[in-house]
């Protein structure tokens, strides 16, 4: 009588229902289906982080691909006491930074954004920019930050991680994260005022309108 000795579908369903921690423990044990599930589950979030660091989706794909390979090869180093996301984000952010350092064509990516944004601004004004354009502005301005500032701002302000989680990813103290963040905010505010004065004026005008309405009521 034929006997079922293995079912891929059952395996996939089992891993699909598992927690992140269980997945990483499965990964550490060398289970390839745990890796498959990890790829399925984490690809969108990791692509987003790598994309924010690199500003290029295709390069982000390359980095995330290598990150998963790195997770597999270094699976024995995962410690179950860590937060799974911290370990995963750390690998992706480190590889993204390495990639950024080795990239020679940074200007090639910045200039088209700048040109596009100036056109958009002249047509519609900053306040009506769509999310994609805000994203492009972020990519442009963030290039002016140091790596640590950029990552701290990205993980804390854009991705919404807590200071504690950012500190774990960046392997530094929470107070250091706050300092990076503080300096990043200063630098970005300065750049916004310098490169997009319309934006600052618009915000000030809106604030003045709001004051007038509050006074009238």
Partner 1 sequence: MSGRDLHRGQTPTGGASGCLDLQSWRRLAAARDASPADPPGWEEALRHLDGCPACRTAAVAADPLLAFRRLPPPALAADEAESMLLRVAALRGASRVGAAPASSGFASSWLASQLTSSRRLAAVLPLRQLAAAAVVAAALLAGGNAPQQAVPAPAPLLTQASAPAIDAVLAAEPVLDELDRPFDHVVQWNGDDLSVVLVVDGRLGV
Positions touching partner 1 (CB under 8 A) are 1-9, 32-33, 35-36, 39-41, 43-44, 47-48, 51-52, 57, 60-61, 64-66, 68-69, 72-73, 127, 131-132, 134-135, 138, 157-158, 160, 163, 175, 178-179, 181-182, 185-186, 188-189, 192, 199-200, 202-203, 205-207, 209-214
* Cβ atoms of 93 and 49 closer than 8 Å: yes
Angle separating helix axes 8-16 and 32-54, nearest 10 degrees:
50
Task: Please state the closest distance from residue 81 (CB atom) to partner 1, in A.
Answer: 25
User: Residue 86 Cβ, how far from partner 1 at the closest point, in Å?
Assistant: 19
By the 8 A CB rule, do 93 and 169 touch?
yes
Shortest distance (Å) from residue 2 CB to partner 1: 4
Closer residue to partner 1 in complex, CB, 42/168: 42
CB within 8 Å of 67: residues ≥ 6 apart: 46, 50, 88, 91, 92, 95
Give the shortest CB-143-to-partner 1 separation in angstroms.
14
Minimum distance, C-beta of residue 54 to partner 1, in the bound complex (Å): 11
Measured over the CA atoms of residue 21, residue 155, residue 135 and residue 101, the dihedral's sign is negative
Nearer to partner 1, 76 or 81 (CB): 76
Nearest distance, CB of residue 28 and partner 1, angstroms: 16
Task: Give the tokens for residue 15.
Answer: 């891993």
The residue written with tokens 């500032």 in the block is 149
Nearest to partner 1 of 81, 216 (CB atom) = 216
Please say which residue, 81 or 181, places its beta carbon nearer to partner 1.
181
Whole-number Å distance between alpha carbons of 114 and 94: 27
Q: Which is nearer to partner 1, 65 or 94 (CB)?
A: 65
Which of 35, 113, 97, 117 has the alpha carbon at shortest distance from 68?
A: 35
Of 70 and 103, which CB lies nearer to partner 1 in the complex structure?
Answer: 70
Using DSSP's 3-state secondary structure scheme, residue 80 falls into: coil
């Amino acid at each position: 009588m034929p006997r079922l000795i293995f079912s891929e579908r059952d395996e996939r369903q089992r891993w699909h229902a598992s927690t992140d921690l269980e997945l990483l423990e499965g990964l550490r044990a060398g289970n390839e289906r745990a890796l498959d599930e990890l790829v399925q589950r984490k690809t969108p979030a990791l692509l987003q982080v790598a994309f924010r660091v690199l500003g290029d989706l295709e390069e982000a794909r390359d980095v995330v691909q290598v990150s998963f390979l790195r997770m597999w090869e270094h699976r024995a180093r995962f410690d179950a006491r860590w937060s799974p996301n911290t370990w995963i984000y750390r690998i992706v952010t480190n590889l993204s930074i390495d990639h950024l350092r080795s990239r020679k064509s940074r200007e090639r990516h910045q200039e088209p954004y700048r040109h596009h944004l100036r056109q958009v601004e002249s047509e519609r004004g900053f306040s009506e920019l769509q999310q994609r354009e805000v994203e492009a502005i972020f990519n442009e301005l963030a290039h002016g930050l140091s790596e640590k500032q950029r990552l701290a701002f990205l993980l804390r302000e854009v991705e919404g991680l807590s200071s504690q989680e950012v500190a774990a990813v960046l392997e530094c103290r929470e107070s250091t994260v706050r300092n990076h963040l503080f300096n990043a905010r200063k630098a970005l505010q300065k750049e916004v005022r310098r490169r997009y004065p319309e934006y600052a004026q618009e915000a000030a005008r809106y604030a003045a309108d709001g004051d007038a309405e509050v006074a009238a009521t």
